[in-house]
């Protein structure tokens, strides 16, 4: 093997696994080569990644999920960034940029593949990602996106977004969340129907996909990039730890037909009041009530419905 091809991050990952310490890869480079994943499985150590999802990519996963779910077909997505911190300097190298381009571009793949009505097999939107190093702007990253989509009857739709953000301040809380979630996941043991023994999560912690651009998943596992589905996974796992049912948003208890006590029909009320009027001493308020009921009964059903809803 050509030793120059072994990334420094891969050496850190191997050292971490051998020490029994969970390793989370926050960069886009190819850190988790097959040998590292195999080593993690053998040592039963958790690994997670890749590439922190903080700003532009997180918004992209929401926008594309919304468009595709609404039956609007994204046909072109162009993303431009420029920044001046060390991240921008590193990405000015062609090899580093290529790995970032892959992680940013792949975020829409599963959402597009999930809609066979909009996209034929193998069809994808044109997707271009540009990143430039501009030292003057420092950590204040600029991100611009253009989403072009097809509507019904040959219509076109374009969404343009501009975002200015402090790159490191967006990444710092994600690092904290990943460390806390990874530590909690290492404590959890569970079993499914038919299993006798409890076991922990797979060494590849795909549950942390919510916070990563290019989610690392176990072999033969589908990759999920849709942001709300990723978050629901985390939420429902921790609800299960508390013995709570998963949140499915159906709310069927509020959507079924309820039985109500029916009000007496108008003609019955009118008959009762007429009987009162036949008595010798019918008070004035009863006569007035009877007049109101007669007036009410003479209205058309449409008028009654309209007055009830107004």
In the 8-state DSSP scheme, what is residue 98?
H
Below-70 pLDDT ranges, the chain: 1-4, 96-97, 99-105, 259-310
The alpha carbon of 133 is separated from its chain's Cα centroid by a whole number of angstroms, namely 30
Angle between helices 227-241 and 56-69 (to 10 degrees): 100
Phi and psi at residue 164, in whole multiples of 5°? -115, 125
Give the separation between CA 46 and CA 92, rounded to whole angstroms: 31
Looking at residue 302, what is its pLDDT? 45
Question: Which distant-in-sequence residues (6+ apart) come within 8 Å of 177 by Cβ?
Answer: 211
In the 8-state DSSP scheme, what is residue 120?
-
Q: Which residues are designated catalytic?
A: 51, 100, 141, 213
CA angle centred on 244, ends 243 and 250, rounded to 5° = 155
The 10s digit of each residue's pLDDT in 267-309 is 666 666 666 556 555 555 555 555 555 555 554 444 444 334 4
Looking at residue 277, what is its pLDDT? 59
Global confidence as pTM = 0.72
Looking at residue 49, what is its pLDDT? 87
Looking at residue 309, what is its pLDDT? 41
Looking at residue 308, what is its pLDDT? 41
CB contact at 8 A, 182 and 191:
no
**Residue-by-residue DSSP string for 219-281:** TT------HHHHHHHHHHHHHHHTTPPPP-S--GGGTSPPP-PPPPPHHHHHHHHHHHHHSS-
* Cis peptide preceding 61, ω within 30 of 0: no
Looking at residue 305, what is its pLDDT? 41
Instruction: Give, in order, the Cα–Cα distances in Å from 246 to each of 180, 251, 307.
Output: 21, 12, 42
């Amino acid at each position: 093997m050509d030793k120059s091809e072994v990334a420094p991050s891969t050496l850190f990952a191997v050292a971490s696994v051998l020490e029994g310490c969970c390793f989370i890869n926050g960069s886009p480079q190819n850190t988790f080569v097959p040998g590292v994943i195999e080593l993690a499985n053998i040592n039963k150590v958790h690994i997670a990644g890749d590439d922190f999802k903080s700003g532009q990519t997180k918004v992209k996963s929401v926008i594309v999920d919304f468009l595709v779910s609404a039956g609007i077909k994204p046909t072109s997505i162009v993303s431009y960034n420029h920044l001046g911190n060390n991240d921008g300097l590193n990405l000015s190298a062609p090899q580093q940029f290529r790995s970032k381009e892959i992680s940013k571009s792949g975020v829409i793949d599963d959402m597009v593949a999930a809609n066979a009505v909009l996209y034929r097999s193998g069809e994808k939107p044109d997707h271009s990602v540009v990143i430039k190093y501009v030292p003057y702007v420092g950590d204040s990253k600029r991100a611009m996106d253009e989403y072009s989509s097809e509507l019904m009857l040959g219509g076109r739709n374009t969404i343009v977004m501009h975002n200015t953000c402090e790159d490191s301040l967006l990444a710092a809380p994600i690092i904290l969340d990943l460390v806390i979630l990874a530590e909690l996941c290492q404590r959890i043991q569970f079993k499914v129907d038919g299993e006798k023994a409890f076991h922990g999560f797979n060494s590849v912690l795909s549950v942390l996909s919510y916070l990563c651009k290019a989610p690392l998943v176990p072999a033969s596992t589908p990759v999920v990039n849709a942001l709300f589905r990723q978050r629901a996974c985390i939420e429902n796992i921790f609800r299960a730890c508390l013995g709570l049912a998963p949140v499915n948003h159906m709310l069927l208890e509020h959507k079924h037909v309820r039985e109500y006590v029916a009000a007496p029909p108008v003609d019955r009320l009118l008959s009762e009041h007429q009987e009162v009027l036949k008595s010798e001493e019918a008070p004035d308020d009863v006569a007035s009530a009877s007049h109101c009921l007669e007036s009410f009964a003479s209205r058309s059903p449409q008028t009654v419905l309209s007055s009830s809803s107004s």
